[in-house]
Amino acid sequence: MVEILSQAEIEALLASLTSDGDSVDPEPDSSISEPVQFTRGGGAPASALALSSPTRPDARRTIAYEPYDFRRPDKFSKDQLRTLQMLHETFARLFASSLSAYLRVSTHVDLVSVEQVPYNEYMRSLTTSIINVFSLGPLEGQAILEMEFNVVLAMIDRLLGGPGNMVKTNTMLTEIEKALTESIINRALRDLQTAWVSVVAFTAKRESMETQSQFIQIVPPNDTIVSILFEVKVGDLRGAMSLCIPYLLLKPITPKLSVQRWFSSTAGENAGQNSEQLAKRLSKAKVTCVCRLGTSRITVRELVNLSAGDTVLLDRRNTDEVDLMIGNSVKFRGKPGTAGRKVALHINRIAGDDRA
């Protein structure tokens, strides 16, 4: 006997054919019954699939996609952006250390973000800043190092002996302020060279300095650049600093901007350079030297009763050598004396060396 589908079953069957974008999953489903015969208006029988449960529609598939803005094309891969992030984290540490020593105040430089944006969008984001254009020879092109005006003023005030809260109503710098600003920027560029040396060796040279962004045009407005944003803290003052590096400048070295290559070059090439830099910095570190003339044991009562003019007997004679201590260790032995009007110590030998 031929089975005739009801109107509800026919509508459910048609709904299943159109519910997935005019396509049906080619995989067989165990919930669908075997093929049966049906007649449409008493005509000839045809083959069809009857749904076992017309009240349970299939879930609509989710389409996987990523938004893409053709006005802001991505020039750098995620791996290359990670490499740029690690490079400029190193730059932030080097520049913070350099500023702390130069300004004689605790200074922190933290990397905030690394983004690729159009050049005109980056320039629109600048407010009251000191903008420095610099070249990266032998790479062709120019880049920008921008620092907020109040941060630069705080650094200048520190260099001139102030507390770091100088305020100006205009953005014009005097000749002395320009010279001090140039010295700060030159330190930043040297640290940038050091951070990048594991990828490419270049010479960062400052070309010009402006306070108005409309006078700066290093690439066409729609060209892609890498915007690297930092937060600078000088004492209690916080401000922003940023780097703008065009894609066309970095294009010749983009194959080198991979995390794996950066780590391998850092481990292989920079081991000796880092050791040399550490040795150079340690050689300038100051240590405390103490000349110990001798020791004596006295009671607490004698210590409390000491007064001006009292004599304390030491365990050495005036002809014996005395100890020169570095930290808590005896490093040298010598004879006390004078140099002009100052008390001095003449070192005779290294501690532990029996040669006089």
| φ, ψ of residue 338 in degrees (nearest 5) | -130, 150
Q: What percent of the chain has pLDDT over 70?
A: 78
Tokens matching residue 289: 């030297």
Do residues 335 and 345 lie in contact, with contact meaning Cβ atoms separated by under 8 Å? yes
CB-based contacts of 251: which residues, under 8 Å, 6+ apart?
Answer: none
Fill in the amino acid letter for 120. N
* Upstream peptide bond of 138 is cis (omega within 30 degrees of 0): yes
Per-residue pLDDT of the chain (356 residues), as tens digits, is 456 778 888 888 888 876 654 444 444 444 444 444 444 444 444 444 444 444 445 555 666 666 666 666 677 888 889 999 999 999 999 999 999 999 988 899 999 999 999 999 999 988 889 999 999 989 999 999 999 999 999 999 999 888 888 777 777 888 999 999 999 999 999 999 999 988 888 999 999 999 888 888 999 988 999 999 999 999 888 999 999 999 999 999 888 887 666 555 555 555 566 777 788 888 888 888 888 888 888 899 988 888 888 888 888 887 888 888 887 888 888 888 888 888 888 888 888 765 54
Sign of CA dihedral 203, 207, 212, 214: negative
Based on the number of CB atoms within 10 Å of its own CB, is 201 exposed (0-12), middle (13-18) or buried (19 or more)?
A: exposed
**What's the pLDDT at 63?**
66
Sign of CA dihedral 204, 205, 207, 210: positive
Cα 19 to Cα 34, 57, 60: the distances in Å are 21, 8, 7
Tokens matching residue 180: 């001090």
What's the rounded Cα separation, in Å, for the pair 155 and 162? 9
Question: pTM value?
Answer: 0.57
What's the rounded Cα separation, in Å, for the pair 229 and 219? 19
Give which of 223, 233, 231, 207 is closest to 144, Cα–Cα: 207
Residue-wise pLDDT for 302-337, tens only, equals 888 888 888 888 888 878 888 888 878 888 888 888
Q: What percent of the chain has pLDDT over 90?
A: 35
Residue-wise pLDDT for 249-264, tens only, equals 999 988 888 766 655 5
Fill in the amino acid letter for 33. S
Residue-wise pLDDT for 31-72, tens only, equals 444 444 444 444 444 444 444 444 445 555 666 666 666 666
Do residues 248 and 239 lie in contact, with contact meaning Cβ atoms separated by under 8 Å? no
